[in-house]
Amino acid sequence: MIVENSKVILSVKNLTAEVDGVQILKGMNLEVKAGEIHAVMGPNGSGKSTFSKVLAGHPAYTVTGGEVIFQGKNLLELEADERAKAGVFLAFQYPLEIPGVSNTDFLRLAYNTLQKGRGLPELDLIDFDDFIQEKLKVVDMDASFLNRSVNEGFSGGEKKRNEILQMAILEPKLAILDETDSGLDIDALKIVSGGVNQLTSPENATILITHYQRLLNYIIPDFIHVMAGGRILTTGGKELALELEAKGYDWITEPEAVA
């Protein structure tokens, strides 16, 4: 939701970044205020996923220029874990499997690490169990998932639900959902987007990275940005999604190709 006079949570200016010497981001500009949902769309290879990883601090990506201010702080100076502690959350396109670490241990470690960073009390096993039972409802997840190894043997939909569960537990200021809808059937998509909708508030902000318009039927964005060639070419309201659905990306990206 667009809230009048709300605080700027994220300000990206002229951001450029490369991976393995190849420049992917070529001048990203984006401002996100509290309460807003921004969708970043674009064809494959436009730099959407790179943008999400750069914001979360993936060490393989090198920022070569520009600035990212998150709640008044220079985000680029922080390590990935410090960004998470500051309130940035990335839901992965391909959540990793960690055999040997139980989901509940992982979630509790992450939660307690953040609590500690915020100067808030940590939860022991029993209190955490009560806490997490509530959170499981957000993504309609069965408690049996807690005792399994992190994401090991989870279906695609279960992995994405587990990402949203982590988001529910960590309560970020800025959630970046990288292709959270990809590979989901319609039922899983409803559950996942329902979870995201429950977690959005006037206090936090969300960036949805997606290839398909489908997700935006379930999570209504305030702004839609279309990326191509490592920068945002067009920005519009939610109606832009329908136009993209009807016409594809070419009408936006082609002038770029000609130029």
Q: Encoding tokens for residue 259? A: 């130029």
Tokens of 92: 């992965």
The answer to whether 92 contacts other proteins (rule: CB under 8 A) is: yes
Do strands 149-150 and 98-102 pair parallel, antiparallel, or not at all (unpaired)?
antiparallel
Q: Kindly state whether residue 124 participates in binding other proteins, applying the rule CB under 8 A.
A: no
Stretch that binds other proteins, among 26-34, 109-117, 121-129, 212-220 (CB under 8 A): 109-117
Q: Does 79 bind other proteins (CB under 8 A)?
A: yes
Listed ranges 34-42, 112-120, 211-219, 227-235: which one lies at the site for other proteins (CB under 8 A): 112-120
Nearer to other proteins, 70 or 249 (CB): 70
Q: Which helix (H) or strand (E) holds 177?
A: strand 174-178
Burial of 90-127, coded b for 16+ CB within 10 Å and e otherwise, reads bbbbebeeeeeebbbbbbbeebbebeeeeeeeebeeee
CB distance 230 to 51 below 8 Å: no
**180 counts as binding other proteins under rule CB under 8 A:** no
Among 56, 164, 165, 205, binds other proteins (CB under 8 A): 56
- Rounded to the nearest whole angstrom, what is the least distance from the CB of residue 110 to other proteins in the complex? 4
Task: Say how far apart CA 223 and CA 228 lie, in whole Å.
Answer: 16
- Residues in 230-259 at the binding interface with other proteins, rule: CB under 8 A: none
β-bridge mates for residue 177, sequence order: 91, 208
- The answer to whether residue 199 forms part of the interface with other proteins (CB under 8 A) is no
For residue 119, state whether it binds other proteins (rule: CB under 8 A). Answer: no
Residues in touch with other proteins (CB under 8 A): 56-60, 79-81, 83-85, 89-90, 92, 95-96, 98-101, 106, 109-110, 113-114, 117, 149, 166, 170
